[in-house]
Amino acid sequence: MKFSIDRKSISEALSLIQGITGRTTTLAITSDVLIKAEGSLITVTANDLETVFQGDYEADVESGGVISINAKKLYEIVREYPDAYFPVNEIENRWIEIGEGNIQYHIVSSDHENFPEFPIIEDVAFTEVDSAMLKKMVDVSASIAYSKEEKRPYVLGALLEHVKEEGKGIDAISALSQSLSDGGGASVTADVSHGVGGENGSDKRAEDSSDEKDHNKNDAANHTQNDPGSDTGDEGAGTSSNNFSILRMVSTDSKRLYSFDMLLSGNFEFPDEGIVIPKKGLSELGKFLNNSHAVQIGVKNNHFIVKRDNETMMIKLLEGEYPDYRRVLSIAGFTSIHINRTVFMMMMKRMSILVSEDFKSVIFNFKENELVATITNPEIGESKEVIAIGYTGDYVESAFNPKYFIDALNAMKGDDVILNIKDNRNPCIIKGHDDKGFVCAIMAMSV
């Protein structure tokens, strides 16, 4: 095999796959990139057994063939290579000659026959979506991390579902967001704080991982699955090709929950029960997506597939049901508070200065027309801050991890946000005043 290719094209492709080839798997060859030269194209493939990338790129191919070569080393060579065109030549005994003239590398390749097969999935019903909006959805959902010991599928992955809603244009999102804010179902169970990690606001039991030993009791999503009552009322009738519907992604670590909506137009073939996409794959998909191109998405043969122009990414889905998150997001009986996003963000940042690994909670006291936030850390000291808010409800004292508020506020747009609170056992539900597509539930810690 012998070819030369525009260095920028191959460099960008190899940059995209470093996360895939850098992941440890049961096969050492997954750290390689498979390159096939045929006709006037080379095909670049990376496969970590869960996430697969494949792209076709124009090249000057003198002779066809297939090689499997270490992706990291090849990328480092390409990145530092000075010329505009990058020459590759397979010589003998799987040795690859890279470069020419004064700069040459000789790199040993692997037996390409051992490279994992690319899944052959045909007749996929694709739907075109906005790449920038999908990227934000993916990045926000993948930002909720998990520990290496985590085994629960709904923490390892994010739920993607098609919410069918009659409507025209952006009104579909507004109607769906209104159905969430109006409730329409039972409130979150009174014991929900134990379902999200049982975090304690005053001592080392505040450690986020302290309740991981009892997953069935200490999981907000599972707990609310058994909460009686109707859901938030967003199960509409099917849509026609002239109507709009919602694509929703839900992500949780059992201590907070994100729900992100984006608008779809036309028909979309999608499993009724939704799909669970590994967050590892979502992290790679976020790198794949950009803010300028539309992409095609589809689901087939237990894979979520995203295509753009000459490149495709496929992510193998997780098995298992996703708990009913709608009870967590219901705000029936909650009090809504409008607050300036920047003011609240800066307050949380100042509070988080005294947060440590063992002491993570800030006490929120909601009083008439004011919010008092305090943190006491015996290892460092204490802090108190008061801001004016438009609150006229009953006195509420609750504890939360300020980092979760900072993360959520960073993901929102607009000047104002809406905090929905009820008592010290229920989560705080945050929505953007103008950003209707994103909702966050932050679970309360024990006071």
* pLDDT tens, residue order, the chain (447 aa): 999 999 999 999 999 999 999 998 999 999 999 999 999 999 999 999 999 999 999 999 999 999 999 999 999 999 999 999 999 999 989 999 999 989 999 999 999 999 999 888 889 999 999 999 999 999 999 999 998 899 999 999 999 999 875 444 344 455 444 544 443 333 332 333 333 333 443 333 334 433 443 444 344 444 433 333 334 434 333 333 346 789 999 999 999 999 999 988 878 888 888 999 999 999 999 999 988 879 999 999 999 999 999 999 999 999 988 999 999 999 999 999 999 999 999 999 999 999 998 889 999 999 999 999 999 999 999 999 999 999 988 999 999 999 999 999 999 988 999 999 999 999 999 999 888 889 999 999 986
| 245 and 266 in a common domain | yes
Do 136 and 95 sit in the same domain of this protein?
no
Domain end: 323, 339, 366, which one? Answer: 323
Residue 312: inside a domain: yes
Question: Is 8 part of a structural domain of the chain?
Answer: yes
Residues 308 and 258 in one domain: yes
- Please say whether the beta carbons of 262 and 134 come within 8 A: yes
**C-alpha closest to that of 188 among 394, 397, 364, 331:** 331
- Confidence at residue 240, expressed as pLDDT on a 0 to 100 scale: 37
Residues 164, 27, single domain; the answer is no
Structure tokens at 329: 């997001």
Q: Where are the alpha helices (DSSP H) in 396-439?
A: 402-411
The domain tally of the chain equals 2
CATH value at residue 102: 3.10.150.10
Identify whether 296 is part of a domain. Answer: yes
The order of strands in the sheet holding 103-108 is 60-63, 2-6, 85-90, 95-100, 103-108
Is residue 337 one of the residues assigned to a domain? Answer: no
- Side-chain-side CA neighbours of 62 within 13 Å: the count stands at 9
Identify the domain boundary among 83, 114, 145.
114
Same domain, 104 and 137: no
Q: What is the pTM of this model?
A: 0.82
pLDDT at 447: 67
- Domain residues for the domain of 134 are 127-183+234-323
